Amino acid sequence: MNKKNPADWTGIEGWMEQFFYDPFTSFLDQYTFRVDLFETSAYFIIEAELNDVQLDNIKVEINNETLKITKIMKPAEEDIQIEELNRTVILPFSIEQKEIDAHYVNGILEVKIAKEKSCLLKRKSIPIQAN
């Protein structure tokens, strides 16, 4: 029996290479927060350096093939406006029904997107766990 792979992973390597060598990505690392992308046999992993941010000031949202990480910076003085910094990662496939876990430990947010596992619910926001 010839079993087809439900996900077509061709092009992922080229996409990841473009992500790391894009000069605009380096620019964003300096002016927002650093984001790295890794791949294992089971997951795509996105890590963001979010030092000095409380867990309730971080959001992870998804929409089709887009994952957006938001860092909310609330100043100590109440008359200063709240600032949000965003980084968006566009993947070459839809992630809305993928199994996605997010953990925040020691200033690093790690978002794991399962390659093969899926979620029954279509979500827009990913809960973040602190370990």
Which domains, ranges and CATH numbers included, belong to the chain?
A: 12-130 (2.60.40.790)
Mean pLDDT by 10 residues, the chain (131 residues): 51 58 53 85 93 92 93 78 86 88 95 88 88 76
Q: So what's the pLDDT on residue 2?
A: 45
Query: Quick one: tokens of 47?
Result: 């890590």
Q: What are the backbone dihedrals phi and psi of residue 55, each rounded to the nearest 5 degrees, phi first?
A: -55, -40
3-class DSSP assignment, residue 72: strand
Q: So what's the pLDDT on residue 26?
A: 54
Model pTM?
0.74
Q: So what's the pLDDT on residue 103?
A: 97
Q: So what's the pLDDT on residue 1?
A: 44
